[in-house]
Chains A and B, each alone.
Chain A
């Protein structure tokens, strides 16, 4: 488990990049109030998805605009073709934690 931040520190519509793990992950708080954790680096080239545009449960990559579904990690269309990895998120005592592992889940 890695500790990300308090829920109160990540308002809806925002994302945070966690660079203490390699590869880094991104945690999103959607406008709908859900929390998702995924690999931060786009599977297409080198861009940080935490910098992307969050809409509903999808994030649009800031470099070439591939969209990823945060629930499944699947890209909706080119140029990205490979999914990003997703990780379970748990909130305990107001703190966001991610069940990070080297293996995909």
Chain B
């Protein structure tokens, strides 16, 4: 392999480029990214950055200079042609390469018909966060659509900034799919603790307003006044550009446990990859930061001809209302959950998820030390097929 191209200049792409160098690749390494910005970290966009507490979110370090990357920022990859091993770029160039890393991540989903309405936002990019921040002024009436992790974090940060916040959720219990209803309710309780209204069990029908959003209408007819709306209803993988490439596309770019796709010398990593997980015995598209940092080590090894599966259990964290939530493993319907330390009312506890005698998940609220210890017991694949 003489030239490797990384498509997507965010956490997974940059981490794979670094890993390729660390694992000995000394050929040409081109990084193509459609955003105009240098790579930056997304988790702070709903937390410290949105709160105005920290603007230090760049991912590049002085050490990267020595790695000799050929940056193509503000440039989108339009298509991948496996036959002559080339990428078509939005600047008109054709980039010939022997190896390709697909790291194009995901984009936020909009409520149909609300894109472009003033005051309605999604939160995925730095530009999104800057736009939203300018509108989260004290006293603003914010409606957050979706009580998932991003929605909950935005609600928490907006409350800190002095906004009046209402969260709307279609399901009866937020986060029930990931954490189960019992723990979902505990997380939902954080909103009430901080004077944020949570309305569950009802979908949003439409957003009303002429030049600017005025209110959010629910399916039951209720109208919630709004100056600002944030839509936090999940993300869609950025893989349309790969149509016709011969790659298998399902919920994401399909790969094996070593990040290899069906095409030789093409790997996929991070939020865009639907990878087979040895840990879960299942194909899984993880939308979590740690996965986008860890999968690259595997993907680089695969590209360099030494495939080894990525083994770790899924892990994510979230910060809401000053509470740190950490979860590792995976919960399935029928698993039981047990609080083994602390107290859910105090918002400080550790809970374990069990399937029979197997430990399959660990959830901590403000218990980082205990969580670190318990998470280690998940560090090997424990789930039977």
- Interface residue ranges, A against B (CB under 8 Å): 45-48, 50-53, 60, 62-65, 78-79, 81
A45 to B368 alpha-carbon distance, docked (Å): 14
A48 to B41 alpha-carbon distance, docked (Å): 20
Q: Are A64 and B290 in contact (CB under 8 A)?
A: yes
If over half of A's interface residues share one DSSP class (helix, strand or loop), that class is named, otherwise mixed; here it is loop
Q: Are A65 and B61 in contact (CB under 8 A)?
A: no
Question: For residue B41, which residues in chain A have a CB less than 8 angstroms away from its CB?
Answer: 79
**Residue from A60, A63, A81 in contact with B63 in the complex, judged by beta carbons closer than 8 Å:** A81
* Distance between A60 CB and nearest chain B CB, rounded to angstroms: 7
Question: For residue B61, which residues in chain A have a CB less than 8 angstroms away from its CB?
Answer: 81
Known contacts A63-B317, A64-B290; is-contact A78 B15 (Cβ 8 Å): yes
**Residue from A53, A79, A81 in contact with B373 in the complex, judged by beta carbons closer than 8 Å:** A53
**Residue from A46, A53, A81 in contact with B372 in the complex, judged by beta carbons closer than 8 Å:** A53
Q: Are A79 and B369 in contact (CB under 8 A)?
A: no
In the complex, given contacts A52-B369, A53-B373, A63-B324, what are 14 additional A-B residue pairs having Cβ atoms less than 8 angstroms apart? Answer: A45-B44, A46-B48, A50-B369, A51-B368, A51-B369, A51-B372, A52-B372, A60-B372, A65-B290, A78-B18, A78-B293, A79-B41, A81-B61, A81-B63
Question: For residue B376, which residues in chain A have a CB less than 8 angstroms away from its CB?
Answer: 53
**Residue from A46, A63, A79 in contact with B293 in the complex, judged by beta carbons closer than 8 Å:** A79
Greatest chain A CB density within 10 A among B18, B44, B324 is at: B324
* Distance between B64 CB and nearest chain A CB, rounded to angstroms: 10
* Distance between A80 CB and nearest chain B CB, rounded to angstroms: 10
Give the residues from 6 to 59 in chain B that come closer than 8 angstroms, CB to CB, to chain A. 15, 18, 41, 44, 48
* Distance between B42 CB and nearest chain A CB, rounded to angstroms: 12
A-B contact list, 8 entries, CB within 8 Å: A46-B48, A51-B369, A52-B369, A62-B372, A64-B289, A78-B18, A79-B293, A81-B61
A48 to B324 alpha-carbon distance, docked (Å): 12
Question: For residue A45, which residues in chain B have a CB less than 8 angstroms away from its CB?
Answer: 44, 48
Q: How many residues of B contact A (CB 8 A)?
A: 19
**Residue from A47, A79, A81 in contact with B368 in the complex, judged by beta carbons closer than 8 Å:** A47
If over half of B's interface residues share one DSSP class (helix, strand or loop), that class is named, otherwise mixed; here it is helix
Question: For residue B149, which residues in chain A have a CB less than 8 angstroms away from its CB?
Answer: none
Question: For residue A62, which residues in chain B have a CB less than 8 angstroms away from its CB?
Answer: 368-369, 371-372
Q: Are B372 and A48 in contact (CB under 8 A)?
A: no
Q: Which residue of B lies closest to A65 (CB)?
A: B290
* Distance between B149 CB and nearest chain A CB, rounded to angstroms: 15
Q: Are B373 and A63 in contact (CB under 8 A)?
A: no
* Distance between B223 CB and nearest chain A CB, rounded to angstroms: 39
Question: For residue B290, which residues in chain A have a CB less than 8 angstroms away from its CB?
Answer: 64-65
Question: For residue A81, which residues in chain B have a CB less than 8 angstroms away from its CB?
Answer: 61, 63
Residue interface bits B290-325, CB-to-A below 8 A is 1, else 0: 100100000000000000000000000100000010
Give the residues from 105 to 125 in chain B that come closer than 8 angstroms, CB to CB, to chain A. none
Residue interface bits B130-164, CB-to-A below 8 A is 1, else 0: 00000000000000000000000000000000000
* Distance between B229 CB and nearest chain A CB, rounded to angstroms: 28
A65 to B63 alpha-carbon distance, docked (Å): 19
Question: For residue A46, which residues in chain B have a CB less than 8 angstroms away from its CB?
Answer: 48
Question: For residue A60, which residues in chain B have a CB less than 8 angstroms away from its CB?
Answer: 372
* Distance between A69 CB and nearest chain B CB, rounded to angstroms: 17
* Distance between A31 CB and nearest chain B CB, rounded to angstroms: 15
Question: For residue B15, which residues in chain A have a CB less than 8 angstroms away from its CB?
Answer: 78
